[in-house]
Amino acid sequence: MKTVGIVCDRRVRDGMSVHQANDEYITAIRDGAGTLPLLIPSTDVPLDTATLLASVDGLLFTGSPSNVAPSHYGAALRPGTELDELRDAATLPLLRAAIAAHMPLLAICRGFQELNVALGGSLHQHVHDIPGRLDHREPRDASLEVEYAPAHAIAITPGGVLARLSGLEAAMVNSLHHQGIDRLAPGLAVEAVAPDGQIEAVSLAAAKTFVLGVQWHPEWRFAQDPLACAIFAGFGAAL
């Protein structure tokens, strides 16, 4: 069975550091991609990238409440931006190394933003402050069912990776983010956009393997959504 490394957050619970990856990611990698999920911690000293790449067949970069530190794309930190700099130190070099090694990877939410930053792009720290943009944040104090419910449409780029995987021209997706792509990294291609023009999915134009990033959360009850099924099945097939 092929293995997929799932990058964990570094968070503090009850005064102790913990490494965290939501069960939905693990289930989607196991059942949707048909692979063995292995958790990769964000340690104080980042694990050796060459050793990690030799240990897995693919990588999943997960979502998170935290954000990429804006110093990585030349911006100042704005209030209300939660960081996880230990994860930054682990994921940004790992993304670059994985791409150089032609390893299949799937990047979701924070992972999607990490992919853009790792390759030289930048982020809006608060999309909802930009005139004409939707408020892409989840409802406050809502149940998980409401938070992860379909929130807006996306237009899928004809002939792109996402269109070929799914056979779709449009879809409804959930929306649980306040940051998003500002300057698209060199080499990335837009795979989907929201009605307000915010980029919702990207691929690596010159990739020799599966490299896809999505801003929404396809792992949430993936088996009930044809687009999510197509994404995880396509990722698994590429390993």
pLDDT tens-digit readout, 72-115: 999 999 988 889 999 999 999 999 999 999 999 999 999 999 99
Residue 13 has pLDDT above 90, yes or no: no
Strands 211-214 and 105-108: parallel
pLDDT for the residue 80: 80
- Average the pLDDT over 190-203 and give the result: 98
Among the listed residues 124, 177, 178, 217, the single catalytic one is 217
Longest dimension (CA), the chain: 49
Residue 140 has pLDDT above 90, yes or no: no
pLDDT band at 11 (very low <50, low <70, confident <90, very high): confident
Q: How far is CA 131 from CA 28, 190, 197, in A?
A: 36, 21, 12
pLDDT for the residue 81: 85
Active-site annotation holds for 219: yes
How many residues make up the chain in this entry?
Answer: 239
Partner residues linked to 180 by β-bridges: 124
- Token pair listed for 214: 């999505």
pLDDT band at 20 (very low <50, low <70, confident <90, very high): very high
Q: Which of 108, 98, 122 is nearest to 61 (CA)?
A: 108
pLDDT for the residue 12: 85
Q: With a threshold of 0.85, does the pTM exceed it?
A: yes
Active-site annotation holds for 109: yes
Residue 226 has pLDDT above 90, yes or no: yes
Q: Which of 225, 212, 234 is nearest to 105 (CA)?
A: 212
d(CA 196, CA 135): 10
Active-site annotation holds for 217: yes
Among the listed residues 24, 109, 177, 178, the single catalytic one is 109
The interaxial angle of helices 85-100 and 110-118, nearest 10 deg, is: 60
Partner residues linked to 17 by β-bridges: 12
pLDDT band at 41 (very low <50, low <70, confident <90, very high): very high
Whole-angstrom Cα Rg for the chain: 16
Residue 66 has pLDDT above 90, yes or no: yes
Residue 157 has pLDDT above 90, yes or no: yes
Contact 61, 87 (CB under 8 A): no
